[in-house]
A and B are shown apart, each in its own frame.
Chain A
Amino acid sequence: MNEETTPSAPKARCREALAQLYLYLDGESLSEQRRLEIKEHLDDCPPCGERFYMEELVVKLVAHAGECTECPDSLKIKIKNLIQEF
């Protein structure tokens, strides 16, 4: 067996995946091929998989906190009326 990779010296694949973490999670411009490679790496490498999962979790928490905000009906009615006046 080779020496274990220490956490302070992540493998090149981990580094490359982490550099594209947000592009991957945000569905931004990555080729299908690259997206697949990252996905395979996340399945093979638990620390990277956990890290991506955690980042996704925080983004979801933020999205959820925003979804729970509803505009007061009084403002909707006010805006509707102002627009009809014009």
Chain B
Amino acid sequence: VAERLSRELTEEDKKRFQRDALPLIDSLYAGALRMTRNPPDAEDLVQETMLRAYRSFDRFEPGTNLKAWLFRIMTNAYINVYRKRQREPQQLSSEEVEDFDLYQELKAHDPQFSETPESIVLDALVDSDITDAIDALPEQFRLAVILSDVEGFSYAEMAEIMDVPIGTVMSRLHRGRKALQKRLWDLARERGIVKEAPATGRENKAS
């Protein structure tokens, strides 16, 4: 960690880094925690990212997107260092993911869903269910979902951060969201929020 600066930053650069980059630590940490899936590695990753960014801050072009620049550094650091230590979640069969349709499942199991814009199933899930579902995604899908839905980056920014074409960003995000929905549905079933099979025959209203 204690690598030396190859070149001195100007006083102005240092002030700018403190003013503009340090407030982005919460965003970086949220992303890092979902990438690494554990707090000690997330802390290491954020620290490593901030030091790398500080050392090369003279190469950041003022006026461009600092948050995207930091996430590019962090994503590279994660891919090169941290993921090697970690066990990846089991890969999902793409058929299983592609055929899954959360909307149809909710329509069949969630009586409230078609009547009001509410879902008792989705409402019953808590934040830790959501983060568990993200954590269960294979890496490339997980990165796309984190960058888009946790961090709010545009497709163009994500393409820059992940160093892939926009078409690849879109397909990873699409499949990532599908896989996430499947995982949420599986969690809802495991937790008994929905029963195994939809009620057949006449509609039973809960009394």
Asked whether B47 lies within 8 Å of A62 as measured between CB atoms, the reply is no
Q: What sequence of 0s and 1s flags, for each residue 12-34 of chain A, a beta carbon within 8 Å of any chain B beta carbon?
A: 00000000001000111000000
Asked whether A59 lies within 8 Å of B30 as measured between CB atoms, the reply is no
Asked whether A62 lies within 8 Å of B25 as measured between CB atoms, the reply is no
Residues of chain A contacted by B33 (CB below 8 angstroms)? 69
Asked whether B28 lies within 8 Å of A61 as measured between CB atoms, the reply is no
Kindly state whether residue A1 has any CB partner on chain B within 8 Å. Answer: no
Interface size class for chain B? 35 or more
Q: In the assembly, what is the distance between CA of A27 and CA of B155, in Å?
A: 10
Asked whether A51 lies within 8 Å of B103 as measured between CB atoms, the reply is yes
Kindly state whether residue B161 has any CB partner on chain A within 8 Å. Answer: no
Asked whether A83 lies within 8 Å of B174 as measured between CB atoms, the reply is no
Asked whether A66 lies within 8 Å of B151 as measured between CB atoms, the reply is yes
Q: In the assembly, what is the distance between CA of A76 and CA of B34, in Å?
A: 18
Q: How far is the CB of A45 from chain B (nearest CB, A)?
A: 13
Asked whether A83 lies within 8 Å of B17 as measured between CB atoms, the reply is yes
Kindly state whether residue A36 has any CB partner on chain B within 8 Å. Answer: no
Asked whether B102 lies within 8 Å of A80 as measured between CB atoms, the reply is no
Interface size class for chain A? 20 to 34
Q: How far is the CB of A49 from chain B (nearest CB, A)?
A: 8
Q: How far is the CB of B66 from chain A (nearest CB, A)?
A: 15
Residues of B at the A interface (CB closer than 8 Å) are 1, 5, 9, 14, 17-18, 22, 25-26, 28-31, 33-34, 39, 43, 46-47, 50-51, 54-55, 102-103, 106-107, 113-114, 117, 119, 122, 125, 127, 130-131, 134, 145-146, 148-152, 154-155, 170, 173-174, 177, 180-181, 184
In the A-B complex, list the 5 residue pairs whose CB atoms are closest, starting with the nearest.
Answer: A66-B150, A71-B29, A65-B130, A62-B149, A69-B30
